[in-house]
Amino acid sequence: MPRNYLRKSINPKPSEESLRCAVTDVLSGRCTIRKAFELYNVRKSTVAFYKSQHTYASVMAATSIKRQDHHLKIFTSKQEGQLVSYLKECCLFNHGLSTKETKKLALSFAIANNLNIPESWKEKEEASSEWLGGFLKRNQSLSIRKPEANSQARAAGFNEPVVQLFYDKLDEVYVKHKFPAHSVWNGDETGNSTVLPPIEVIAPKGMKQVQQTVSAERGENITMLAFVSASGSTIPPIFVFPRKKPNPNLLLGSPATKKNPVSFLMDNHSSHLEFPCVKFAKENSIILLTFPPHCSHKLQPIDVAVYFPFKRALRHSHNEWLQSNPGGIKDIAGLTQVPFVTKIVAENIIAGFKKSGIWPFNRNAIPSSQFTPSRVTDRPDATQHTNTTEDVADEAFAGSSIESNNVNSTIGDDVTLQSIRPFPKVIPSTGSRRPSSRLGSTRILTDSPETNKIEEDYMRKKEKEKKKDANK
């Protein structure tokens, strides 16, 4: 049978009511099959088929006599619903199943429930591609997607307790200083290479390789720092060039370059935590608040809604320049100017602050389903009850056309999908190394206790450097 079967008959399918009346009258002897066809407009072959499948008592007792599933369908609707929920949960865990893994799981699921399966499944040791195609068509809430790479450290680091601690610190800063929107700032660095991936172009159909000229085989990475505020304003970018001798060509096209405190939110990179920087910020009424490690992709406004459109526009800017100036790209600042002005705008900046819950302040801006990948590192806690992954899946896919089922519920006798293929779980490390108490946390760096700790670490580091120099 073709994968995309088109019905050839133009006769309409009979309704449940007309089919029930026709079959009931024939089984009770009130009329013949031909007469039922004339009375209820149900084809004689259809009436004869359902007459052979039922008795008068079964028709009266059944809520529906029409077949709900195709006679060749392997799984019931309930079992497919269980499989849909399981696949969604695996995706929430950042451990989604490939098409091959899904077909192998379907085979194991069918064998465990003693279902009739085609011989080709047994020979290939997996379900067929035809079954997978039909399964995806029947369940439109699923689709085949190419995932983005996400490290286990980032998945585990972005968890609800850590994020809520950050919001507690942010709320503390807001309550203490009463910042207006234009005093809440976020800044971050990004790589601005002289060679960027080519943009999509129109090419002849059937062409195996489509190429686009770039400025060099390998580009030189220039660090750009952007700063944005919750009011949507920004300042000109800062470029850090990896050079010992200045190159004036790199600056072509660049712009000229205590009383009221401001808040500055930044990531926890070690280069941001140097004591001279913290001291300067404290002396100039700049309140420094750091994001938790591995959380900037969800909490940092400039990463959430600003840098992606900027990078996409920057690729177009490089491509347009190369069309008329084949050769190496040097004037990074000039090529960055138009993308910066057109994409790092109030609309994107405000959206980033709002989506991350920083301004307006909203500690519930991030749905709980976003924290599901971190649950692979959870340890069982018998003293308190937390939402199950099934609850998270129901919330994440609310309104789906597929009825949500509990993956852990019993299927058949005692076979569950999780018993066939358990959800991933990280084994806790047994190392004896004790982590630093300040690593992996969000901090208000300009608070006196934190500033004193940073100063102590800084002075200790300087003493070690002096001793090392003295021993040379």
Task: Tell me the residue range of the domain where 226 lies.
Answer: 157-195+214-355
Same domain, 417 and 311: no
Give the whole-angstrom CA distance, residue 468 versus residue 76.
73
Residue 6 pLDDT? 72
Residue 432 pLDDT? 53
437 falls within a domain: no
Same domain, 261 and 351: yes
Same domain, 338 and 400: no
Same domain, 120 and 239: no
Residue 64 pLDDT? 81
Same domain, 164 and 227: yes
User: What CATH number corresponds to the domain at position 317?
Assistant: 3.30.420.10
Same domain, 57 and 119: no
Same domain, 227 and 295: yes
Q: Among 254, 264, 267, which residue's Cα sits nearest to residue 340?
A: 254
DSSP characters for 413-470?
Answer: TTB-HHHHSPPP-PPPP---PPPPTTTTS--BTTSHHHHHHHHHHHHHHHHHHHHHHH
Q: Among 226, 263, 264, 261, which residue's Cα sits nearest to residue 349?
A: 226
Residue 400 pLDDT? 35
Same domain, 119 and 243: no
6 falls within a domain: no
CA-based max dimension of the chain: 112
Same domain, 171 and 231: yes
385 falls within a domain: yes
What is the full per-residue pLDDT of the chain (472 aa) written as tens digits?
456 667 777 777 888 889 889 989 999 989 999 999 889 988 899 899 888 888 888 888 887 887 777 777 899 889 999 999 999 999 999 999 999 999 999 999 999 999 999 999 999 999 999 999 999 999 999 999 999 998 888 888 899 999 999 999 999 999 999 999 999 999 999 998 888 888 888 999 988 888 888 888 778 888 999 999 999 999 989 888 887 776 677 666 655 436 678 999 998 888 788 899 999 999 888 999 999 999 999 999 999 999 999 999 999 999 888 888 877 777 888 899 999 999 999 999 999 999 999 999 999 999 998 998 888 877 554 344 434 334 433 443 343 333 333 444 444 455 788 888 888 887 766 655 555 545 558 999 999 999 999 999 999 999 998 888 888 7
Number of domains composing the chain: 3
88 falls within a domain: yes
Same domain, 55 and 117: no
